[in-house]
Amino acid sequence: MKILITGGAGYLGSTMIPMLLQKGHEVTLYDIFFWGISPILPIADNNNLKIIKGDIRDREHLANVMTGKDAIIHLAAIVGYPARDNDPECAINTNIEGTKNISELKIANQILVYASTGSCYGAVKGLCSEETSISPLTLYGSSKAEGEKMVLAVGGIALRLATVFGLSPRLRLDLLVNELTYKVVSCKEFDLYEGSFRRTFLHVKDAAQAFIFAIEHASEMKGQAYNVGDEKMNMTKYQLAMLIQKNVKGSKITESSSGEDKDKRDYEVSYAKIKMLGYKSTLSVEQGIRDMLKVFPHILRTEIGSCKNMKIPI
């Protein structure tokens, strides 16, 4: 297949593209390269990969790039509530207007798979399924929810990803598992707030595989949203912290009564809908932690600041 990936040089895209190339697909990477091009250097010489610098807000350019593609995997976005809150206008233009462009330019026979998020649910009591009403509390969640509506209206597929973690060619340290693991390695001791909040997690490789799965099962999945993750990785932030502490000798994480999570995510998620089609995750949180512990002691990050009274907000 001829597949276009927006935001393909990012955390998820740089993990996914090698998988697609290995399957023999022709991939066009469309990215603004805000974080640079180095994550895709190892695969740049592949004859089935085309690299284009572009912005999803540039409708004319996007239209030309989308022409002739069998499938579009839409990853490009301003991600996470801190990034969106710092520049809300950019977030709206990129996440909503950019997704609107893709949805309107999509033709009937093209497959469209959209990277959505569990943040669409907002504050929910109990178990979340795709039937649970979405009520996002942040600009991040709201922009993703709005994008979902446009994608589903044209027969696309929305994947509501659990909190992703793990190593990637474009490494992110602002995701809960990655951030907490790095801070444990760097600081050994610090405070964690709202440790009782429940979250659910997904390795970046399993997240990438979910998009490939959606393309391969598009006829069954089109026009619908799917939670993507694994019930085995429903856990509290404190349980996650203890799992990391177990793997880092000499570390100590204590709970703090101060601090607030803007996303208010505190729920368990059901993944039965996508599992019924045959999708399943393969990598555990602990495996991801162990892999990161091979790398993180060798990363220098001067902006981490003081370890004293450090709190994990995400």
> What's the pTM?
0.92
* Cα angle 13-15-18, degrees, rounded to a multiple of 5: 100
C-alpha to C-alpha distance for 213 and 226, rounded to whole angstroms: 12
Q: What is the pLDDT of residue 24?
A: 97
For residue 195, is pLDDT > 90?
Answer: no
Do 114 and 148 form a contact (C-beta atoms < 8 A)? yes
Point out which residues pair with 27 in neighbouring strands.
3, 49
List phi, psi (to 5°) of 5. Answer: -120, 115
pLDDT 10s digits, 208-222: 999 999 999 999 999
**pLDDT grade, residue 31 (50/70/90)?**
very high
Point out which residues pair with 2 in neighbouring strands.
26
Q: What is the pLDDT of residue 112?
A: 98
- Residue 49 carries which DSSP code? E
For residue 193, is pLDDT > 90?
Answer: no
C-alpha to C-alpha distance for 52 and 44, rounded to whole angstroms: 12
Q: What is the pLDDT of residue 266?
A: 74
Do 150 and 144 form a contact (C-beta atoms < 8 A)? no
Q: Which of 77, 68, 67, 124 is nearest to 98 (CA)?
A: 77
Q: What is the pLDDT of residue 43?
A: 97
Three-class SS state of 28:
strand
Whole-Å CA distances, 306 to 9, 185, 293? 31, 14, 21
DSSP-derived secondary structure for 164-176: EES--SS--S-SH
C-alpha to C-alpha distance for 14 and 202, rounded to whole angstroms: 16
For residue 81, is pLDDT > 70?
Answer: no
**pLDDT grade, residue 225 (50/70/90)?**
very high
User: What is the average pLDDT across 63-77?
Assistant: 97
C-alpha to C-alpha distance for 63 and 46, rounded to whole angstroms: 24
